[in-house]
Amino acid sequence: MGEAPALTEQQRGELRQLGHVDILIGIPSFDNARTIGHVVRAVQAGLAKYFPAERSAVLNSDGGSRDGTPDVVRSASIDNYRTILAAHPLLPVHRIVTPYHGIPGKGSALRTVFAAARAVGARACAVVDADLRSITPEWVDLLITPVLEDGYDFVAPLYHRHKFDGTITNSIVYPVTRALYGKRVRQPIGGDFGFSARLADHYLSQDVWNTDVARFGIDIWMTTTAITGGFGICQSFLGAKIHDVKDPGVDLSAMLVQVVGSVFALMEGNEQLWRSVVDTEPVPTFGLEYAVGLEPLQVNVDRMIGVFRNAAQELAPVWERVLHPEAFRQVQALAPLPPAVFRYPTELWVRTVYDVAAAFHKRTLNRPHLLRALTPLYLGRTASFVLETADASGEDVETTIEGLCRGFEAMKPYLVDRWDSNKGGGL
């Protein structure tokens, strides 16, 4: 089956009528009518305030919303620029609402943004999530200026989040990506990025748009591709990330399968590079980092431990095939522990993730089944993290996550050994 074009002829015609644009901001959406109006207005204000002399456009790449999201985008406007800005913008901010084509998913939406950026000759671009409640006009400056003025190709977001928000990032995606590729990009799946025209062209040239990347792995793919492609990378502090969050113990299994599966799949194509990385380094950071107020997030620890405990019985044959024998023994020993003393040690968690990555590589099990079997292990580790950091400050939690990252870095030889082993699973 051939790959669908990123833009239809009608869309190309609309972009030709728009003409050259210096800055393009993309907002992928699906049923985000409740929040997208605020996002569009914040982006408009940011473009008008910080880039008044640049020709700008906002592109809503919508996935077939049924709640009126495109209508909200079309009607979103700032009632009075003078209440927000010191002066009127020199040029208007154009708004475009267009459906994306290809397999359903955020990746297809972003492919439309990349193609539109090429069509209008944009010099700098950004994408922001449609469910943001904490976005401010300053985000536009912080995502675009490093590209326009400092020559960076990729600007990752740096947020302050509730200590129990983003647990998949904190426990797997960030430490693994950092250990593999050597760059300390704190939010590799943050959802809000700045990028250059050069990088957008590189993304479009990759043969991934009929794969699962286009369905759900786009954020980690964008970050990893920027790193492995040798592009200039930085991050910008955006303040608080307040969006539609969920208890990490509820309804995150599908996300874990999708995102972690993408991390492991990217390891296959970049093996030669990550094998050669022996140390990590920080990336340049823009923006003044400051303390922010965060919304509380309730976590059901008992439920997470219950899922882990049940899986220790039901999935024992699967875990035994995947985990190193000593890791399997230690994991099983955790199951009967009551919450008061339940702890999933850092070293054991690193071994767990690296064992699953190696099993993914060797196809020890059907890959979706393997990743679903990781889910209760992740819930056990997350429950342990919540118990350990219940009274910790945000700064203390970052210290804990830094220790976890260093554990993944130090045990990278273990990954290589498990990856190269000719024997399957825990044998």
Assess if residue 1 is contained within a domain: no
Write out the H or E segment, with its range, that includes residue 26.
Answer: strand 23-29
Do 36 and 170 fall into the same domain?
A: yes
Could you identify the residue written with the tokens 């074009």?
5
According to DSSP, the residues that pair with 94 across neighbouring strands are: 57
For residue 292, is it within any domain? no
Residue 98 has what pLDDT? 65
Q: Where does a domain end: 263, 286, 309?
A: 286
**214 phi and psi angles, rounded to 5 deg:** -70, -20
State the pLDDT at residue 209.
83
Give the range with max mean pLDDT: 105-114, 154-163, 173-182, 251-260. 173-182
pLDDT the model gives residue 219: 93
Which residue in the block uniquely carries the two structure tokens 């919450």? 339
Total residues found in the chain within this entry: 427
Long-range contacts of 229-232 (CB under 8 A, 24+ apart): 229/199, 229/202, 231/153, 231/154, 231/196, 231/198, 231/199, 231/202, 232/151, 232/152, 232/153, 232/154
**So what's the pLDDT on residue 30?**
85
pLDDT of residue 356: 98
- pLDDT number for residue 240: 84
Mean pLDDT of the chain: 88
**What pLDDT is attached to residue 208?**
86
Query: In this structure, what are the phi and psi dihedrals at residue 50, rounded to the nearest 5 degrees?
Result: -100, -20
Same domain flag for 218 and 320: no
Residue 247 has pLDDT above 70, yes or no: no
- pLDDT for 9 equals 83
Cα–chain center distance at 291: 22
pLDDT tens across 294-305, in order?
666 778 899 999
Strands 124-127 and 193-196: antiparallel
DSSP string, 47-102: HHHH-TTS-EEEEEEES--SSSHHHHHHH---S-GGGT-SS--SSPEEEEEEE--S
Q: Would residue 372 count as lying in a domain?
A: yes
pLDDT bucket at 355, cuts 50 / 70 / 90: very high
Q: Is 341 exposed, middle or buried (0-12, 13-18, 19+ CB in 10 A)?
A: exposed
Look at residues 252, 286, 320 and tell me which one is the last residue of a structural domain: 286
Q: Domain check: are 81 and 197 in the same one?
A: yes
With 90 as the cut, is the pLDDT of residue 211 above it? no
Whether 119 and 182 map to the same domain: the answer is yes
Handedness of CA 263, 269, 270, 272 (dihedral sign): positive
Q: Do residues 60 and 84 both lie within one domain?
A: yes
The answer to whether residue 425 is domain-embedded is no
| The two structure tokens encoding residue 75 | 């009607």
Is residue 180 in some structural domain? yes
Indicate whether 42 and 172 sit together in one domain. Answer: yes
Query: Residue 83: its pLDDT value, please?
Result: 46
pLDDT digit string (tens) for 140-159? 999 999 999 999 999 999 98
CATH classification at residue 133: 3.90.550.10
- Rounded CA gap, 360 and 263, in Å? 11
State the pLDDT at residue 166.
Answer: 83
169: nearest Cα among 188, 194, 185: 188
| Domain total in the chain | 2
> 253 and 106, same structural domain?
yes
3-state secondary structure of 425: coil
Position 410, amino acid: A
In a domain, 330, yes or no: yes
- Most distant CA pair in the chain, distance: 69
Q: How would residue 18 be classed by pLDDT, with cut points 50, 70 and 90?
A: confident
Tell me which of 14 and 97 has the higher pLDDT. Answer: 14
Say what the alpha-carbon torsion angle 36, 243, 235, 97 is, to the nearest 10 degrees.
-20
For residue 366, the enclosing domain spans 301-420
pLDDT of residue 87: 47
Question: Residue 347 has what pLDDT?
Answer: 98
Same-domain pairing of 355 and 327: yes
357-395 pLDDT, tens digit per residue, is: 999 999 999 999 999 999 999 999 999 999 999 888 888
Residue 316 lies in a domain: yes
pLDDT score of 177: 98
122 secondary structure, DSSP code: -
Q: Same domain for 258 and 198?
A: yes
Higher per-residue pLDDT: 419 or 424: 419
Residues 229 and 359 both lie in one domain: no
From 286, 309, 335, the end of a domain falls on 286
Work out the average pLDDT over 216-234: 94
Q: Which two tokens stand for residue 34?
A: 């409740």
pLDDT tens, 264-295? 999 999 999 999 999 999 999 999 887 666 66
Query: What are the residue ranges of helices labelled H in 248-366?
Result: 253-269, 271-276, 301-314, 316-322, 325-334, 346-362
pLDDT at 1: 41
What integer pLDDT is reported at residue 421 of this predicted model?
Answer: 87
Looking at the predicted structure, is the pLDDT value of residue 350 above 80? yes
Min mean pLDDT across 106-120, 238-252, 287-301, 400-414 is at 238-252
> Cα-flanking dihedrals φ and ψ of residue 101, to 5°?
-125, 155
The helix or strand, by DSSP H or E, that contains position 199, with its residue range, turns out to be: helix 197-205
pTM equals 0.90
* Sheet of strand 154-160, all strands in order from the earlier edge strand to the far edge: 93-99, 56-62, 23-29, 124-127, 193-196, 154-160, 233-240, 285-286
Co-location of 307 and 251 in the same domain:
no
What is the structure's pLDDT at 251?
A: 53
DSSP class of 92: P
Within a domain: 90: yes
| pLDDT, greater one: 206 or 1 | 206
What's the token pair of residue 109?
């939406």
**pLDDT reading at 215 higher than 80:** no
Q: Do residue 215 and residue 311 come from a single domain?
A: no
